[in-house]
Amino acid sequence: MKAACLRELSFFALVGLSWAIPTTKEYKGPSQESIIQAKAILDKYPIIDGHNDFVMGLRTYFENDLTNFDFNTNLSAIEPWASHYADDTDIPRMKEGRVGGQFWSSFISCDAQYKDAVQLFMEQIDVIKRLVQDNPNDMTFVTDAQGIEQAFADKKIASLIGVESGHAIGESLGMLRMLYELGARYMTLTHTCNTPRADAAQVESGELPVRSDGLSDFGKLVVQEMNRLGMLVDLSHVSARTMADAMDVTRAPVIFSHSSARSVYDHPRNVPDEILSRLTDIDGIVMVNFFSCFVVPDCSENHGNVLDIVAHVNKIREVAGVDHVGIGSDFCGVDISPEGLEDSAGYPNLFAALLEDGWTEEELGKLASGNLIRVFKAVEAIRDTLTSEEPFQAWIPSEEVQADESQCRMEPW
């Protein structure tokens, strides 16, 4: 397996034990009646998913050559997808799951940092655009909140670009601006490595050394330039210190495109309560990650089920409020996820379980897509108040750019 496709892969897939492990809970899943009701609600309020790594596979398997590739077919019985560790997504399964919007991840691993990252990220943006162009009846390329609403009306999958992660810009604000012009609408500040301006979650566990201790001064400028552009600041993958620093300096709402609640399962990739509680004022959103190893203990023995995701959703709701939670599956980037949420067809199972937990239609609509659309509109409104501001001209101090030994860690999370 190429290093490039090892993302948030669990240790167990690496040793080939990732399937047929029964869940420890006795939950039988939501009733058929609830699933039918959930599907009707999601037909009205489609899912917007904050993070999907499907296009990473296009690079791994096809070197981004889409000749003869058909995304509008159930890929789960077709190679190479059938044997892929994360065969989760295609157009039929997205339709089954009521997906109306997807942030497709332009992802390149930390291996490329300080090397050819800038080119590789642009190639991933290019392949996302070609994938959408190849499927004009089902997908439409979108760069603003209004475009998402239009896509809903047209019954097409609003397809947006999220850049993962900050090493995509090298150390250049000019590259950040060009990524925005190419249509990127969020950038995750780090992946599993520190950048020279922002620390990753792994500094919290000691897997990486502290480098900027949160955001450096240049890192703060990057956040403020993203605000000026109208690019969503994505705080998934960063350390709690980086989250707090970004929230101190941001002028617009922030997002977590694929993270869950740390007080439900204590993992550095999840969001601590003290950060969740600040989302109410900042008007941000945490889009809940389904990766078993982020949501339940002993993920090798127990992949969890939809009730485990319900617990994360409810905790974020309890601490931040019902207006600040969304969905960010991480499909195609992870090898194991809870029973009932194995692929992009699964969202109605989660929404049915939430219905049975007492959620109203209006609240489920917010979770599915309403909150993300509101946050996106708020970020656009801030951008529109900043039009007289000049682009930041600063360059990162050269002594801060030195590569460090910790630049490339391939930890399973």
Q: Which of 171, 199, 237, 245 is catalytic?
A: 237
- Nearest-approach distance from CB 343 to ligand NAG, in angstroms: 8
Among 62, 72, 84, 92, indicate the residue that binds ligand NAG (CB under 6 A): 92
> Residue 74, interface with ligand NAG (CB under 6 A)?
yes
Q: Which of 171, 234, 323, 330 is catalytic?
A: 330
39 is written with which tokens? Answer: 């599907």
Write out the binding residues for ligand NAG, residues 199-228 only, by CB under 6 A.
none
Token pair of 174, please?
């000019």
Q: CB-wise, 90 or 308, nearer to ligand NAG?
A: 90
What does the alpha-carbon distance between residue 219 and residue 261 come to, in Å, rounded to a whole number? 25
Active site includes 191? yes
Which of the following is catalytic: 8, 87, 88, 164?
164
135 is a contact residue toward ligand NAG (CB under 6 A): no
303 is catalytic: no
One-letter amino acid of 17: L
Inter-residue contact 177 to 391 (CB < 8 Å): yes
Among 51, 93, 237, 303, binds ligand NAG (CB under 6 A): 93
The CB density around residue 26, as the number of other CB atoms within 10 Å, is: 6
Of the pair 93, 177, the CB lying nearest ligand NAG is at 93
**345 is an interface residue for ligand NAG by CB under 6 A:** yes
Helix (H, G, I), strand (E, B) or coil at 234: strand
Q: Which DSSP state fits 391?
A: P
Query: Are residues 112 and 120 in contact, defined by beta-carbon separation less than 8 angstroms?
Result: yes
Residue nearest to ligand NAG (CB): 74
305 forms beta bridges with 339
Distance separating alpha carbons of residues 117 and 166, to the nearest angstrom? 10
SS3 label, residue 179: helix
Partners of 141 in beta bridges: 159
User: Per rule CB under 6 A, is residue 72 in the interface with ligand NAG?
Assistant: no
Q: What's the closest the beta carbon of residue 126 comes to ligand NAG, in angstroms?
A: 28
Q: Which of 167, 258, 312, 324 is catalytic?
A: 258
Choice among 53, 225, 342, 343 that is catalytic: 53
258 noted as active-site residue: yes
Q: How far is CA 128 from CA 55, 97, 142, 289, 369, in A?
A: 7, 20, 12, 22, 21
Residues marked as catalytic? 51, 53, 164, 191, 237, 258, 330
Residues at the contact surface with ligand NAG, assessed by CB under 6 A: 74, 76-77, 92-93, 96, 345
